[in-house]
Chains A and B, each alone.
Chain A
């Protein structure tokens, strides 16, 4: 009985030892997880808003948990002071300019404090130091610009819709776009434009040469523009022309004077009765000449004058032969 009882006690002791051992191991691991047994330093940071941070939340440096939040207290109406417990080992990596920000562990996880080391020299952190902080981009501040953007987007899409509607309704545009020969034509036009500009270039070069020649005095225009004596000659010619025209005017005045007088010329030109008499006289002369011509014809056939006329004819023929070589 006694041996059996002892046996039972051993089993009982073993059972209790296992149970308490489990408890102790769990508590120790939990303590190690929460770094209760490590040496630590206390640092502080002032935030305007801690976004639901609780005492015991993690503090991370480069994504690694290096401590936790010890206390959170309201200092004044715009400052919340957070006291953090950091492991002694990370003291070398956390400097006085290290920035503390409030973050979240995943999308819906716990609120945490992120420590971001900043470039530039600074002293290592000491116990009781206050770290600089930056206000995290809260959801509300992110939503503000987003709302403005969406308003703009509405206006832009509205305009865009109007534009596309007008473009869709425009028949000439679609005809232009559907025209398969357009590209060829445009290409040809461009070729023509290219040739024209080539010619234009040549022409401008010619014009340039011409202008250069004119400037140097070549050709008529050059002579006109560059001959300095031409002006004097032109002046002289104009003066002579003026003198001539004066003479002509005087002559014409004399002639008019002659016409207005009772001279023969005035009678000839202005007397209509005289001209009629003259015309009748001329007619009478004509008739007299015709009668004379018939009389001469009759004389030629008269034998009295036939010998004289023959001799005169022969003399004329000889004179002609003598003139010919």
Chain B
């Protein structure tokens, strides 16, 4: 197989996505496997995502503080940090961490299955490997990433609250009021919709890279590696698209 160009691989990925949508609505749902994948993607990523979010919220607050004090806008720290985390940082950080942890995992797992011809044997035995392996995983990342993001946002905001209280006194009521006062439903809606897209892209790219892995064990490593790289890049590209779409729709 010749080295695929970017356009060719994009086309193949789109075809893969089309197959996913076709398979996801057809009966014989692999609920057990899907729930397990949800557990792996969602719950098992929580420590990593949670600690990252905590550090992010704290660092953002502490970094922002000197500048805001200089401008005499100390009381705006909760609002700024809150909006930053909920609109942008929470989804992006979570998606990147999940891409790093889950996408590589999926890529390596499916790649080794492909290389060791387990997928081929599944096809032979009458089990639909795409439905069992790909659909469950993509669905799991798509549905779990928003939940992870919300939890990460909550942790991050709590860390921000701690950061604000490290050098001043702000009640939780005032802190949450400051954030909610400037927050719109559209902010939350856009952020949640965005994370669904991120999750879908991470799962799809991980599965695609693993599903079509070749060249033996070397291919497995490549699949895992490129799954992380491409899904991270896809997250940023989707984020850019989301911002543009929000601007066009007048949400932001």
List residues of A whose CB falls within 8 A of some B CB.
5, 8-9, 11-12, 15-16, 18-20, 22-23, 26-27, 29-31, 33-34, 56
Given the known interface contacts A12-B35, A30-B185, A56-B184, the answer about A18 and B43 at a Cβ–Cβ threshold of 8 Å is no
Set of chain B residues within 8 Å of A34, measured between Cβ atoms = 185
CA distance A27 to B43 in the complex (A): 23
Question: Contact between B185 and A27 (Cβ–Cβ < 8 Å)?
Answer: yes
The complex places the Cα of A23 from the Cα of B183 at a distance, in Å, of 13
Shortest distance from the beta carbon of A17 to any chain B beta carbon, whole Å: 9
A31 proximity list for chain B (CB < 8 A): 185
Alpha-carbon distance A218/B90, docked complex (angstroms)? 121
A-B residue pairs, 4 tightest by C-beta: A19-B147, A12-B39, A8-B39, A19-B150
Known contacts: A27-B185, A30-B188. The answer to whether A16 contacts B147 by CB under 8 A is yes
Taking a contact as CB atoms under 8 Å apart, the answer to whether B43 and A30 are in contact is no
Q: Which residues of A contact B192 (CB under 8 A)?
A: 23
Given contacts A5-B36, A19-B151, A23-B192, contact A29 B43 (CB under 8 A): no
Q: Is the CB of B176 within 8 A of A29?
A: yes
Compute the total of residue contacts between A and B using a CB distance below 8 Å: 53
B181 contacts A by Cβ under 8 Å: yes
A15-B42, A15-B43, A18-B151 are known; give 18 further A-B pairs, CB within 8 A.
A5-B36, A12-B35, A12-B39, A12-B42, A15-B46, A15-B151, A16-B38, A19-B147, A20-B147, A20-B150, A23-B150, A26-B180, A29-B180, A30-B183, A33-B177, A33-B180, A33-B181, A34-B185
- How many chain B residues touch A (Cβ–Cβ < 8 Å)? 23
B151 touches A22 (CB 8 A): yes
Whole-angstrom distance between the Cβ of A119 and the nearest chain B Cβ: 32
Q: Verify if B153 is at the interface (C-beta below 8 Å from A).
A: yes
Q: Across the interface, do B46 and A27 meet the contact criterion of CB distance under 8 Å? A: no
Complex: A20 Cα to B177 Cα, angstroms: 20
Closest-CB distance, A155 to chain B (whole angstroms): 38
* Interface assignment of B148: CB less than 8 Å from any CB of chain A: yes
B98 contacts across to A, CB distance below 8 A = none
Write the chain A residue with the least CB distance to B149: A19
Question: Residue on B with the closest CB to A33?
Answer: B180
Partner of B148 from the list A19, A26, A33, A56 (CB cut-off 8 Å) is A19
Chain B hits for A29, CB < 8 A? 176, 180
Q: Give the Cβ gap from B75 to chain A, nearest Cβ, in Å.
A: 11
User: Given the complex, which residues of B lie within 8 Å of A18, measured CB to CB?
Assistant: 151
Query: Please, which residue of chain B has its CB at the minimum distance from the CB of A19?
Result: B147
- Distance of A27 Cα from B186 Cα, bound (Å): 11
Q: How far is the CA of A33 from the CA of B182 in the complex (A)?
A: 10
Is A22 a contact of B154 with CB atoms below 8 Å?
yes
Which residues of the partner chain A approach B42 to less than 8 Å between Cβ atoms?
12, 15-16
Name B158-215 residues within 8 Å CB distance of A: 176-177, 180-181, 183-185, 188, 192
- Is there contact, CB below 8 Å, between A30 and B36? no
Name the A residues within 8 Å of B180 (CB-CB). 26, 29-30, 33
